[in-house]
Amino acid sequence: MDTSRIRESVSAATLAIELDGTDALGYVLRGFGILLIGQLDRYAEAIADVYRAHEMNPNDSLVLVTLAYLEAAVGQPECAIEHGQNILRLNPRGPGTHLTFHMLPFARFGARQYANGVRWYRKQSTTNPA
């Protein structure tokens, strides 16, 4: 993966936050970029950004799924599962639902819920858009 473009997007998100710190999108995009790059030493910063975005907009599916991915990645799979279930309750047929179906097996495996992880993986593989 070419991380240079993702690093540019993280810089752009930082600039967006500096220009308007009241918009949750900048925080969630910066956190998501750090997650994509895999900068483990910055995960605390990323999760703080996404928690901030969640405080601003607690029902936003993009915020919730990004938060869930980060929570699963830092060893909080139960929180990730809870957020994933919230997404599906809020918007079960939303355009980003496939992301939730992808995140839930990751979180379920982290929580050692292997059978549920396989079930969600199978569901994800049948609903993921081509």
Residues 31 and 77 in one domain: no
Residues 69 and 120 in one domain: yes
Last residue of a domain, one of 57, 84, 102: 57
User: Residue 126: which domain range?
Assistant: 61-130
Asked if 30 and 10 touch (Cβ cutoff 8 Å), the reply is yes
Residues 42 and 23 in one domain: yes
pTM (2 d.p.) = 0.87
Instruction: Say which residues have a Cβ less than 8 Å from residue 109's Cβ, sequence separation at least 6.
Output: 77, 117
Q: What is the pLDDT of residues 12-55, one digit of tens each?
A: 999 999 999 999 999 999 999 999 998 889 999 999 999 999 99
Q: What is the pLDDT of residues 61-105, one digit of tens each?
A: 999 999 999 999 999 999 999 999 999 999 888 888 889 998 999
Residues 49 and 4 in one domain: yes
Task: Quote the number of domains for the chain.
Answer: 2
Last residue of a domain, one of 9, 41, 57: 57
